[in-house]
A and B are shown apart, each in its own frame.
Chain A
């Protein structure tokens, strides 16, 4: 159990457009989901914590108006990259937890975003 599905796996978009990435917990309810960004040969950088039914908590330096997060249900969180620029090109990964922060995260397989 504990499968997290992320969609799309790859997306190419033009500068100035917006892209939505979905993260679903398929077989469990996730009150909390996390969004990460990963550049090549670097670690995962936590962008924001998504809580069902409330506003997301963003990490320092992450623009909340640019990276819109919606966690409308216990199984779905979305990340929308608005007005994308080439420097937003990255690997975006979501994760969800079945319990509190003292339990392992279950990760999606990531979304490779390329902005041209």
Chain B
């Protein structure tokens, strides 16, 4: 069946470093992916999305890369800040979530 999952449950980085969070999916027909950020006790917030006709999309300090060959996408956060500490989820077609990666930024 379909699944969207993440490689690592936790990631700890130093403030100012770049962060890379990975996500794998199994359905080769998936054509739309979203990254969400969830802070403690809150609902997820949209970060960036990408459609399958693209390999890369950039936002403010964030970049999403999509590799359809290996069914993998990643979220790159540049110059990670303490405010970036949260759980990050990738989601397929807007509604199904992966396992999540907790990002901790050390000052």
Q: Is the interface of A mostly helix, strand, loop or mixed?
A: strand
The CA-CA distance from A109 to B38 in the complex, in Å, is: 10
Q: Which residues of A contact B31 (CB under 8 A)?
A: 102
A36 to B44, CA, bound (A): 11
The tally of residues in B whose CB lies under 8 Å from a CB in A reads 22
- Known contacts A102-B32, A104-B34, A104-B49; is A110 also within 8 Å of B95 by CB? no
B-contacting residues, A38-68, CB 8 Å = 42-46, 49
Chain B residue nearest to A45 (CB atoms) is B97
- Taking a contact as CB atoms under 8 Å apart, the answer to whether A102 and B51 are in contact is yes
Beyond A42-B100, A43-B97, A95-B43, 7 additional pairs, beta carbon < 8 A: A46-B97, A49-B95, A95-B44, A105-B44, A105-B94, A106-B46, A110-B43
Q: Can you list 16 residue pairs at the A/B interface with Cβ under 8 Å?
A: A4-B43, A6-B43, A42-B99, A43-B89, A43-B97, A43-B98, A43-B99, A46-B95, A46-B97, A97-B94, A101-B93, A102-B93, A102-B94, A105-B91, A107-B36, A110-B43
